[in-house]
Amino acid sequence: MLRPIGRALRQVTSSSYDNHHVRRRACSGTAVKHCCSLRHYDTIPHLSDSPPNLRTLSSHQSFLPNSKFNQCRYLTTAASASTAAVEQLNNGGSNGIADTIDAFSAIELALDSVVKIFTVSSSPNYLLPWQNKSQRESMGSGFVIYGKRIVTNAHVVADHTFVLVRKHGSPTKYRAEVKAVGHECDLAILVVESDEFWEGMKFLELGDIPFMQEAVAVVGYPQGGDNISVTKGVVSRVEPTQYVHGATQLLAIQIDAAINPGNSGGPAIMGEKVAGVAFQNLSGAENIGYIIPVPVIKHFVDGVEASGNYAGFCSLGLSCQPTENIQLREYFGMRPDLTGVLVSKINPLSDAHNVLKKDDIVLAFDGVPIANDGTVPFRNRERITFDHLVSMKKPNETAIVRVLRNGEELELTVTLRPLKPLVPIHQFDKVPSYFVFAGLVFVPLTQPYLHEYGEDWYNTSPRRLCERALRELPKKPGEEIVILSQVLMDDINVGYERLADLQVKKVNGIEINNLKHMCQLVEECKEEKLRLDLDDERVIVLSYDKARTATSHILKRHRIPSAMSIDLLTTLSA
């Protein structure tokens, strides 16, 4: 079990996975006096193949002038910059003989390239969506790349209100702006306008994916000290891994370097280039950390350069079943020389929905054969998932998919693009939507809303909503599940308090698409009575004029500034 370290400001989170706990934590070092919680953004319980107890590595520590520091209880095992050493293998890969080298080469690169990041953040309260939770201070690491940009982790600046950066050896903190954030890949780009900051700074080059047993040096500002730190380690595994911050499966590199809270966003250096970005570790295990590899970093950076913002990772929108069973293969007419996976479900919003069909056997993707277990060849006899191969394509790029359909082999062209789930998995850097009418609070269903039920949200949140959040696919663009989250009691809504957490389906007989659509239907109602149809065939009926009058004094009584969130207010005004 994880626990807050040094009175962490972010609440530890969990989700079930084969009786383990996959947890996301913005790990803390020294913290401010008061502790406050952050909503959870875990992966879908028991649907991930990731190892248990992963946690992110930003350190929550007070850095404001009037803050009181507590003694750090979790001591970093990071090696001192003056005594650190790294091991590097010959270019032959995992079979080379390791030569011990001095870590000063990594230090020399890092001193003018790696920065410390200070973040002030405030997260929304999804149970009271018109409010924010208490302000928190945290810190992490980052490094400079070409174009006067700083790369760090998304969880270092998530829900930020104020960001500062500091160069090594400098007492001055400079204001930074977040240019782009990719929460899926846990990466962010910062920019600093001050010319003084860039004096003497050198950018780091992105390298390649290291081979097994190649040496890396992780550089950053872990807890337990205020100066730069270097830890040594070797690559022990390269494979798709759960990114706990964004709840996605992307390629990651496992290393045995001792990376600790505060290392988040720091570079892993191999030779004179960056091999990855430190972002999470495995709690309960000694010296098992993870870094984001260069292909993922380049995909993020290139997408930002092309569109000015985060582009996302593509998906075919398929749910596939392995075809390892010989009877299953015979039933679908697969010859012994054919391998592939069986299409069981297709996202209605994907381009593949119009091209592929249920019970198709996907044999190859862009000429790369797919094994019966759903993996494809990688390098050095390693294998990665078919989904990862798809995810690294550029948005709106086309691909050739070879399928077996009714015994006939076909080559079909599919356009790839990022796909959004029906129920959002995370909502960082975004104000929650809400609509209050007659004391009834309506919100779109999101996983952050379910996470407000606590660490064991999968078991304690309403079962029906939880299953929909994890299983259902959108049927049309912009679709949301709108729920009655709570009832602010008043004479007009007595008896409706038992209907909380039910989905709203219709307004006066019209099926709603999302919260914005529902808000428009209610605001433009011309009838004397307002009827809302909910799940379980439940019904809410209100006198429209009395309900509008009641709304005003209910808002005043509960100190709610507006009957609707700013996004809805802007839409209606337009």
Positions annotated as catalytic residues are 155, 186, 264
Q: How many CA atoms lie within 13 A of 223 on its CB side?
A: 27
Question: What gap in Å lies between CA 389 and CA 413, rounded to an integer?
Answer: 16
In 408-536, beta strands by DSSP E: 408-415, 435-437, 440-444, 482-487, 502-507, 510-511, 529-534
Burial class (CB in 10 A: 0-12, 13-18, 19+), 476: exposed
- Are the CB atoms for 506 and 525 separated by under 8 Å? no
Q: Which residues contact 29 (CB under 8 A, 6 or more apart)?
A: 5, 6, 59, 60, 61, 72, 74, 139, 222, 223, 224, 261, 262
- Are the CB atoms for 342 and 328 separated by under 8 Å? yes
- Specify the DSSP element, H or E, that contains 387: helix 386-391
Q: Which residues contact 449 (CB under 8 A, 6 or more apart)?
A: 126, 127, 432, 443, 485
User: Strand pairing partners for 268?
Assistant: 218, 276
Question: What gap in Å lies between CA 104 and CA 79, rounded to an integer?
Answer: 12
| Helices (H), ranges, 199-321 | 294-307
Q: Is 550 helix (H, G, I), strand (E, B) or coil?
A: helix
Only one residue has tokens 């990688």, namely 378
Only one residue has tokens 């911050």, namely 245
Q: Which residues contact 259 (CB under 8 A, 6 or more apart)?
A: 57, 78, 218, 220, 222, 231, 266, 278, 281, 289
CB atoms closer than 10 angstroms to residue 196: 11
Question: What gap in Å lies between CA 125 and CA 123, rounded to an integer?
Answer: 7
Only one residue has tokens 């690491």, namely 141
Question: What gap in Å lies between CA 35 and CA 27, rounded to an integer?
Answer: 13
First-to-last C-alpha distance (Å) of the chain: 50
CB atoms closer than 10 angstroms to residue 34: 11
Question: What gap in Å lies between CA 571 and CA 574, rounded to an integer?
Answer: 5
Q: Nearest-CA neighbor of 259 among 297, 217, 207, 203? A: 217
CA distances from 42 to 183, 290, 319, 379, 491 (A): 12, 17, 20, 30, 39
Strands 149-152 and 160-167: unpaired
Cα three-residue angle 191-192-197, rounded to 5 degrees = 140
Question: What gap in Å lies between CA 554 and CA 493, rounded to an integer?
Answer: 11
- Are the CB atoms for 223 and 260 separated by under 8 Å? yes
Burial class (CB in 10 A: 0-12, 13-18, 19+), 475: exposed
